[in-house]
């Protein structure tokens, strides 16, 4: 018993009866997850005497009823969340499907949407420059760009740092504590005054087995918690949309450049 609560409230606890609420209260299951307590119902100070066996039965019935209501509410919220998430991802796929969209504009739009979908403080897209063996990204925050040197383009070597490692290996990284990771480079934090706590970085591919085009990096969940498996799955799905759209834009640019080159060659032949 924690006496500090009574001291702070001025209340005097004499006796109490507590009943755990678990998912196993709701259905027969041997799952460890179902036996986990997710709430409790508590009765304090019997008005006459002490709590009896009958009181225990009554509280158990109330606890099971509360468990049903809480679980139904939780499941409803999950359904709503999944529905909203699916709708948002569909919106994103439509928004970035225009092959004639400017690459910088597309990156900015994706980063804005990514922050909303994964509820993170920052989201970045790094694309691979094959010629220079570098990653490059656009800083959409002009104030942040000024802090790190005035240029709105960041360049990092492939294979260095969290983003560089993911670009090289093609494997996702989920960093719970950035400053404890040997891959994390705190230089950007020092220049910008920002504090990176947790990071999730996933490769961008047009298809599952195709080459890595770049990486998406998500920094700091807005709730202050580490990234979980659900975030990893969502980030992977998001990056697949980005990969397809990015690949389409790059192919379109190549075709357009090839067409322009043909037209120039025709002009030279005519001359």
| 19-43 tens-digit pLDDT | 998 865 444 445 555 567 888 999 9
Q: What pLDDT does residue 174 have?
A: 97
Cα 193 to Cα 81, 131, 147, 148, 224: the distances in Å are: 33, 32, 9, 10, 18
* Backbone phi, psi, residue 236, to 5°: -65, -45
Let me know: does 172 contact 145? Beta carbons within 8 Å: no
Task: Specify the DSSP class assigned to residue 47.
Answer: S
Distance CA 97, CA 209 (A): 21
Computed over every residue of the chain, the mean pLDDT equals 81
Q: Residue 217: exposed, middle, or buried by beta-carbon count in 10 A (0-12, 13-18, 19+)?
A: buried
Q: Say how many residues make up the chain.
A: 271
Categorize the per-residue pLDDT at 76 as very low, low, confident or very high, splitting at 50, 70 and 90.
confident
Identify which has the larger pLDDT, 184 or 242: 184
pTM of the predicted protein model:
0.64
Distance CA 126, CA 159 (A): 13
């Amino acid at each position: 018993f924690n006496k500090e609560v009574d001291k702070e409230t001025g209340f005097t606890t004499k006796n109490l009866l507590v009943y755990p609420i678990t998912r196993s209260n709701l259905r027969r299951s041997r799952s460890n997850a179902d036996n986990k307590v997710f709430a409790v119902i508590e009765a304090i100070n019997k008005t006459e005497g002490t709590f009896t066996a009958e009181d225990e039965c009554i509280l158990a019935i109330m606890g099971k009823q509360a468990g049903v209501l809480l679980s139904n509410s939780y499941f409803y919220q999950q359904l709503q969340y999944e529905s909203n998430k699916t709708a948002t991802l569909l919106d994103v796929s439509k928004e970035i499907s225009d092959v004639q969209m400017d690459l910088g504009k597309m990156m900015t739009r994706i980063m804005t949407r990514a922050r909303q979908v994964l509820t993170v403080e920052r989201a970045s897209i790094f694309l691979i420059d094959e010629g220079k063996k570098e990653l490059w990204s656009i800083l959409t925050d002009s104030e942040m760009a000024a802090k790190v040197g005035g240029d709105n383009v960041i360049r990092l070597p492939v294979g260095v740092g969290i983003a560089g490692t993911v670009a090289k290996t093609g494997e996702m990284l989920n960093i719970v504590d950035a400053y404890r990771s040997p891959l994390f480079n705190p230089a950007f934090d020092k220049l910008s005054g920002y504090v990176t706590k947790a990071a999730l970085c996933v490769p961008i591919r047009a298809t599952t087995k195709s080459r890595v085009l770049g990486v998406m990096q998500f920094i700091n969940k807005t709730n202050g918690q580490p990234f979980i498996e659900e975030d990893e799955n969502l980030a992977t799905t998001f990056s697949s949309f980005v990969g397809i759209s990015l690949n389409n834009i790059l192919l379109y640019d190549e075709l357009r450049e090839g067409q322009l080159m043909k037209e120039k060659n025709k002009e030279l032949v005519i001359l």
